[in-house]
Amino acid sequence: MDRNKRLQHILTKAKELDFYKERLKNIDIETISVDNISALPFTSRADFMEQFEKDPTAGFMNDDIIQMHLTPSPGGRMPEFLTNNDINWQAEAVVEQLKRCDITSDDRCLVVFSYHMLAGGWLFHEGLNKLGVVTLALGPSDAAQVVEIAKSYNFNVLVANPSFARKLGEAGAKFEKLIAAGEPFTAVPGYREQLETALSCKAYDAYGLSETGLVAAETSAQDGLHIVEQACILEVLDTQSLMPVADGEKGELVITSLSREGMPILRFRTGDLTLKDTKDGKLYLPRGVFGRTDSMLKIKGVKFYPKELLFILASVEGLNFRNYQIVVSSREDGTDTVKLIIEGDATKVNIDKLAKTLRVATGIGMNEIVLLEEFSGELVIDNRFG
């Protein structure tokens, strides 16, 4: 597939749509390529939602649209509109990802993501069909029922979010392979190992949005998320300058879809935090997606994302990783100090080990870590400028 040709085709479609007419009016499509995608404007979920509030279809519904999804979003529902091309392109992207994980037409797959209005199950279903995998669109179901069906019909592949996959493992389910998506997975230290033990499987991470479909996924090497190139163009940008970050730096994941002509997605700011790296000359995400870019702070000269801690703390036994707070203050000499307050059981947590883990993951040394039996409060208190 010629990615530049596909991109220009989608831009041509976008220019015809009300949502993009003003945004793209000064863009010469013939000058845009995968290598100079920065010439295009950014979009966000808030931009789309603003348009949908004025018109539920926002001008996207036309004679070419054959499928629609409605995804819950802050402030309402986020519609997605797909053409026949979109469905075929999405299926091709999923086939590529499945092959990376050594899934073939000899396999049998249970999909337990939601169908109906939501995009979840559909994002994988067409690709599984295209590859020739026997697929049951089971959707959300009672864990005991999933286990019984899997055993009765020899299903060996599971497509699920990781938290439900773990519940299935606890209920006695066994699969050879798991495709996990929809929630942080490999970003949580030790999570993959837990699931692989529980399900007796090999587990692979995948990342996508309802607006874009699948855009990045692991290979059989289980070494981070690699771009599904026929599906998208990915950028990792500094959250303040919106310029590309260097390898080894964190930034916001920005997606331009190559599989959406019905509702083009151009330089879509996901708000998701990731670490950029390069392998064999291609961008990949070695730690997957591990937080949100909200509430970014600069502490001790380092960009710090408080919500990143959620995924680190989730792997530590004895902590209630949802209840924590970062308190930033300044000494008289102007240097920053950082205190982490978290709900947890002090008898189960090695504070020194936790401090080392946090320093390695974030680049920030905690000056103090306080464990409380019960805690609730704002995520961040910054006393430096008050």
Q: Residue 386's pLDDT band (boundaries 50, 70, 90)? A: low
Distance CA(50)–CA(52), nearest Å, equals 6
Looking at the structure, tell me whether residues 113 and 136 fall in a common domain: yes
Residue 44 lies in a domain: no
Domain final residue pick, 272, 292, 312: 292
Distance CA(386)–CA(383), nearest Å, equals 6
Write the pLDDT tens digit of every residue in 93-137: 999 999 999 999 999 999 999 888 888 899 999 999 999 999 999
Write the pLDDT tens digit of every residue in 34-83: 999 999 999 999 999 999 999 999 999 999 999 999 988 777 789 999 99
Distance CA(180)–CA(106), nearest Å, equals 20
Specify the higher pLDDT residue, 206 or 334.
206
Average pLDDT over residues 254-264: 98
> What is the span of the domain harbouring residue 323?
297-382
Domain final residue pick, 262, 292, 322: 292
pLDDT computed for residue 331 by the predictor:
85
Distance CA(252)–CA(91), nearest Å, equals 26
pLDDT computed for residue 291 by the predictor:
84
Looking at the structure, tell me whether residues 324 and 208 fall in a common domain: no
Domain final residue pick, 266, 292, 318: 292
Q: How many C-beta atoms lie closer than 10 Å to residue 39's C-beta?
A: 12
Looking at the structure, tell me whether residues 213 and 254 fall in a common domain: yes
Looking at the structure, tell me whether residues 276 and 129 fall in a common domain: yes
Write the pLDDT tens digit of every residue in 135-178: 999 998 899 999 999 999 999 999 999 989 999 999 999 999 99
Residue 335 lies in a domain: yes
Among 100-109, 205-214, 360-369, 377-386, whose mean pLDDT is lowest?
A: 377-386
pTM, 2 dp: 0.87
Write the pLDDT tens digit of every residue in 211-242: 999 999 999 999 999 999 999 999 999 998 99
68, 80 Cβ separation under 8 angstroms: yes
Write the pLDDT tens digit of every residue in 293-322: 887 888 887 888 898 898 889 889 999 999
pLDDT computed for residue 115 by the predictor:
87
